[in-house]
Amino acid sequence: AAAAALGLLPLGKTQSPESLLDIAARKVAEKWPFQRVEERFERIPEPVQRRIVYWSFPRSEKEICMYSSFNTGAEDPAAAPGGAAT
């Protein structure tokens, strides 16, 4: 209420702090692929796994486009397994 009164937040909007689970999961997802996390730790609680996977995906439209158009060379018939030999 005080922040809204100072004009820092729109009226009727409150901001809650990010959970420790989300902060930790985001930091893990930024540094390590989920496969490495699974290999390193025997037991990871399911809620933790879900949040790490959630934060592993790109957030911005630019990143989504970059990853969705990632070229592996499979379009080149010579590069594909069983492709044309030169």
Q: Residue 86 above 50 pLDDT? A: no
Report if residue 41 sits inside a domain.
Answer: yes
Q: Is residue 11 part of a domain?
A: no
Residue 4 lies in a domain: no
Is residue 2 a part of any domain in this protein? no
8 A C-beta contact, residue 60 and residue 78: no
| Residue bearing the bigger pLDDT, 78 or 69 | 69
Which pLDDT score is estimated for 78?
A: 54
pLDDT tens by residue, 19-70: 999 999 999 999 998 889 989 988 999 999 999 999 988 778 887 787 777 6
Is residue 60 a part of any domain in this protein? Answer: yes
Q: How many domains is the chain partitioned into structurally?
A: 1
Residues spanned by the domain of 48: 20-68
For residue 3, being part of any structural domain is answered with no
Domain presence at residue 78? no
What type of residue sits at position 22? Answer: D
Which tens digits make up the pLDDT trace of 6-30? 556 566 667 788 999 999 999 999 9
Based on its alpha-carbon atoms, the radius of gyration of the chain, rounded to whole angstroms, reads: 21
